[in-house]
Structures are given as structure tokens and as C-alpha cells.
Structure 1
Amino acid sequence: MAVAVARSRRGLKRIVVGRVHSGPRGASRFVLGLLVLGIPLLLALAGPLFAGDAGPRGTSLTPGAGHVLGTDFTGRDVLREVLLGGRSVVTVAVAATALTYAVALPVGFVCALTRRAWLEEVLMRPLDVLLAVPSLLVVLLVATAVRPGPAGLAAVVAVVAIPDAARIVRAAGAEAASRPAVEALRMQGESWARLALGYVGRSVGRTLAADVGVRLTGAVYLVATAAFLGVGVAPDASDWAVMVDRNRAGLSVQPWAAVVPALLIVALTLGGNLLADAALTRPHRTEKNR
């Protein structure tokens, strides 16, 4: 008996110590996420203010020659193109993610909270059809009919992401809606809108925070892929994704023209997911507070 009690105490101590140390880890992850995400965001938002004039073009794909990062495939200064090229990628990806959840949240919560099976079928089955179509194929089909600008590209990326996001919201919301607390609130006459914005919304917050990081990453890469194909942007536009595509042929002689924008895109997605992970870290209580 004494041995069992001692073991249980040691186990409790390990749990408490682990909880004590999980807070600083979450804080360090948050700071790291801010630093990693802050670099591409700062360049994307403030870079055009410091880009300056274009100046004369040099020799294509040449390192140095008076340019800090060399020249690109058209002889333009790579540093200036980096300063100019982030705004389109960031704004389109963020706008697409926002549009995705503007539709996915109400659809998912209605399906999770409604007790009308026909309404759930009407809302979800069309999304299932869209879910079966590859996202890049949708982008290419739209591009063959029209030439979407940045706003149109953001709308297309949002459309292909809505089915996934709506299903996640629905699944997380349905689990929370089945709890006794929600049934008690229903008996008190609470509307589904108040439930979605209240108890159920708070219950699925951690799941949605994780999904936002994944969704933003997917939007960035789909926007970048569309830019590789010339959809939504001009073939020689000042755009990080276009820079990676157009300058990859000269990696052996002038790598910075493709490597730097590629690293900035990776930092954008990595930093976003680090912040999402930090947001998922629960505040833990110490042994004194227990």
C-alpha cells in the first residue's frame, strides 16, 4: 500500500512539473512564431515603401554587379523585387482564408446544431461534390474561362477550401452540441445563433485555431501554384511565387533570385503554424494553485 501511494505521488509530481514547464514552452513558441512570421509580413506590408525606383536593368541572372542579391531572369534587382513581391501573395492568401471561414463557419455551425436532417443534406451534399474535384483543376478551369485578378484568385481559392473547412467546423461543433450543457441551454430557449457564438463556439476554438494555420498554409501554396501557372498574376510580375518559378532555371548561377522568395514563403507558413500551435497551448496551473 505504501509503495503504491509513493508511486502515485511520484507520478503526480511528474504531471505537475510537466504542467509547470509547459507554460514557458508555449510562450517561447509564440515568440518564435512572431519572429518567423514577422519577417515575411513586414517585407510584404512595408517592403514597397522602401523599394525605390527600378533603375536600369542589368544582365540576367547575375550575382553581384552592384546588386546585393544579384539580378533576376529579366535583369531586375532581386532585392527590389523581393520588397515588392510579398504583398500580392500575403493579401490573396489571407483574403482567401477569411472568405473560406466567412462561409464555412455559418454552414458548419448550422449543420452541427440543426435537428432538421433535410437542411443538413441540402447544405453539405453540394460541398461534397466540390470536395471531389482537385483544387488545382478548379483553378485551371476558371483560368480557361476568365482571367481572374488577385480578387478573383482569392475567391477561387476560398471556394475550393470551403468544403474541408465546413466539414471540420461541423464535426467539431456536433461533438460540442451533443454535450449536456448544450441540451440544458436548448431547454432554456437559446437560439442556435447564440449557441454557435457562445458555448459551442468557445468549445471548438482550439480546433479552429489549428485549422486556420493549416488552411492559411494551403492557401499560400495554392496561390503560389496558381502564380507558377500564370493565373491571377502577370508572367513577369513582382511576386514571390512568380520569382521562384521564373528564376529556378538559373539556380546554379544565381540562386538568390529563387531561394530568397522561396524561404520567405516557407517562413510565412511556418510562422503561421507556430502561432496556431502556441494558441492551442492551454494555460496550466502550478502546484501552488492546485
Structure 2
Amino acid sequence: MKRPGRYALGAVLAGLPLCLAVCGPLLAGEPPSRAASFTLDGAGPLGTDFVGRDVLHQILLGGRPVVLVALAATALTYLAALPLALVSALTHRRWLEEALMRPLDVLLAVPSLLMLLLAAAAFPPGPLGLTLLVALVSVPDTARIIRAAAAEAASRPAVEALRMQGESWWRLAVGYVGRCLLRTLAADAGIRLTGALYLVATAAFLGIGVAPDATDWAVMVDRNRPGLPVQPWAVVVPALLVVALTTGGNLLADATLERRPPAPRAPGTRTAPRFPRPGRAPRPGRAPSRKARQQ
């Protein structure tokens, strides 16, 4: 699929869940009266859930917690992992690098599900605690990936030249190395958002930070599984919305990565002049260059 097609398909897939998450609570209105559980007769177009609530009403209300927690956890993950990775890659003090990265290696050795269970005891229940919990689980892997890409950019001759010129650490880290990391960050963002949604759904399945009957897409998938043969919409629709959000985000990231931006230049350097190729006439209204006149 070509890049415009990926942009269009990714925008459609990711746009529908995002629109439901933003506008759904405004369109939901008052909750309908409860009916029998797992029924399609006499209820809304999508039937009722395991406690007799209207599934369509729950879907309109259940997207905002999942999307907001996943997006906030992803942003918080990068806010914590990016400084750790840049300091570790640009420092010349080995002890500082070891002090920053070795604890992350220890956390990487622990399975994410076990970390989720252990950290749940230390964080308060609710959206804020769930956001901090997902970010804590995601930081070690993200920091290792960013650090590997930043170390390659920090070893280039341009960085040594900037150090010899007395440039500040901020100018090195953000002005040059940070620009070299843009494609890596774009590629990792889609994967990180997918992982955050997976961890949010896993926490909802386990009842960590989320009430058992909360209005949440992930909780709907878990709690309505017993009625799947009788009333599949209560499970299929929220699951498809979560899958559409993750797939659309990855398609948008892939389409963005297909563009090849120019290589970043060291701050303060000038672009080399461009001369016409041999045998090519200069453009009208422009004086020929010295090399063109010699030819």
C-alpha cells in the first residue's frame, strides 16, 4: 500500500475510536433503564451487557478512560526515558552511565505482568495510579531503545566538533542528537502506544486500578466474555475499537517513516554550494558559476 493510502486508512482506523473517546460522553445522554442481561430483545441496537446496561451507551462512555490513560502513559514514558537515554549516551563518565542504565536492566529482567502486580500495591487506585503504573512498566524498554540510537548519533564526528567548539550539553542533546532520534521516536511511538493499551487492558482484566463494573472498553471485553455465544456485540465492538486504534496508529507511524528527511546538520554549519552538472545549461536569469564557465 502506498503512503497516501496508509495515511487515509490509518486516519480512518484511529479517528473513529478517538472521536468516540472525545465526543462519546457528549452524545451518550441519560443512561437507559436496565433490562435483562445479555439480551438483544427490547434493548438498544447492540443489546445489553452482563448487568443489563445498554451496550451502545457503555461504548460511548467507555472510550475516554482507555484512550486518555494510554496516551498519558505513553507521553509520561517518553518524558522519563528520553532524558535518561540522552544523559547516558552523551556522558563521558562511565559510573554515571552504569548508575542510570543498570537499574533499568534489572527491571527489564522482571516480566511486565509481574511488575504490574507488584507496582499495583504501591500506586493508588484510579486513572492517575494506572497511568503511573503503565509508564513505570514501559520506561526500561523505551530508555534502552532510545539510548542505543542516541549512542550511535553521539559517536559521529559532528558531535566531537561541537564539543571542541564549546557548545552546551543542551545544544548537543537537543539540537543535534535529538534531531537524529526523530525517526526512531516515530517508529517506537506506535509500538509504545500499542503496548500501553495492552497494559491498560491487562490491568482492567486483573482489576488493578479499575472497578470491576467500570465503564471501560477493556472492562467490557473481560466482563462480557461469558455471554459471547448469546450476545457477542458486548465483546466484539469494544475489542474492535481497541484494535482499530492500535492498527491506525501504527499505519500513521509507518507512513510518516516512509518520508526521508534530509540528514541533520551540526548547528552553525553552512550548506555546501550546489553547482550544475557538466553539460547542463544554467537556469535563465542566473549567472553561470565559475565551474560552469571553465567547462
* Cα distance in 2 between the residues matched to 1:261 and 1:88: 13
- Please identify, of 138-147 and 225-234, the stretch whose mean Cα deviation from structure 2 is larger: 138-147
- State the shift of 1:147 in Å: 4.5
CA distance in 2, matches of 1:170, 1:277: 21
Report the equivalent of 1:250.
Answer: 227
Which residue of 40, 45, 51 maps to 1:63? 40
- Equivalent of 1:210 in 176, 181, 187: 187
Amino acid at match of 1:94: L
Q: Which residue of 1 aligns with 2:6?
A: 29
**Aligned equivalents of 1:223, 1:217: Cα separation in 2:** 10
1:230 corresponds to 2:210 = no
1:267 to 197, 222, 244: 244
TM-score calculated relative to the size of structure 1: 0.87
Indicate which of 64, 71, 75 corresponds to 1:87: 64
Task: Please point out which of 149, 170, 176 is paired with 2:147.
Answer: 170
Deviations 1:136-160 (A, max 9, x none): 2122123345552111111011011
Shift of 1:66: 3.4
Output the CA distance in 2 between the equivalents of 1:239 and 1:45. Answer: 14
- Aligned partners of 1:83 and 1:50: how far apart in 2? 7
Distance in 2 (CA, whole Å) between partners of 1:170 and 1:147 is 31
- How far is 1:70 from its partner? 0.5
Work out whether 1:74 is the aligned partner of 2:51.
yes
* Structure 2 match to 1:105: 82
Q: How far apart are 1:132 and its partner, in Å?
A: 1.3
Query: Counterpart of 1:75 in structure 2: which amino acid?
Result: G
Q: CA RMSD in A?
A: 1.7
Task: State the 1:283 CA deviation.
Answer: 4.7
Secondary structure of the residue aligned to 1:140 is helix
Q: Which amino acid aligns with 1:41?
A: L
Please list every run of 5 or more consecutive structure 1 residues that lacks an aligned counterpart in the other structure: 1-23
Q: Secondary structure at the match of 1:106?
A: helix
Does residue 157 of the first structure (1) align with residue 134 of the second (2)?
yes
* Stretch of structure 1 that moved more, 183-192 or 252-261: 183-192
Larger Rg: 2
CA distance in 2, matches of 1:118, 1:56: 63
* Cα displacement string for residues 194-217 of structure 1 (whole angstroms, at most 9, x for unaligned residues): 112111111111111111111110
On the 8 A contact 2:62/2:215 being kept in 1, the answer is: yes
Contact 2:35-2:43 within 8 A present in 1 as well: no
Aligned pair 1:51/2:28, yes or no? yes
Give distance in 2, aligned partners of 1:34 and 1:178.
37
Q: Does the CA-based 8 Å contact 1:110-1:192 persist in structure 2?
A: no
What's the counterpart of residue 272 of structure 2? none
The equivalent residue for 2:282 is none
Q: Supply the AA of the counterpart residue of 2:35.
A: G
Deviation sequence 1:21-79 (CA, Å, 0-9, x none): xxx92222112111110000000111000111112101100124231101100110000
Are residues 188 and 279 of structure 1, via their aligned partners in 2, closer, same or farther at CA, if it must alter by over 3 Å?
A: same
| Larger RCO (CA within 8 A; separation ≥ 6) | 1
- In terms of fraction of residues, the more helix-rich structure is 1
Q: What residue number does 1:130 align with? A: 107
TM superposition shift of 1:258: 0.4
Aligned residues: 263
Q: Distance in 2 between matches of 1:284 and 1:193?
A: 23
Identity of aligned residues (%): 69
Question: Is the CA contact 1:61–1:71 (under 8 Å) kept in the aligned structure 2?
Answer: yes
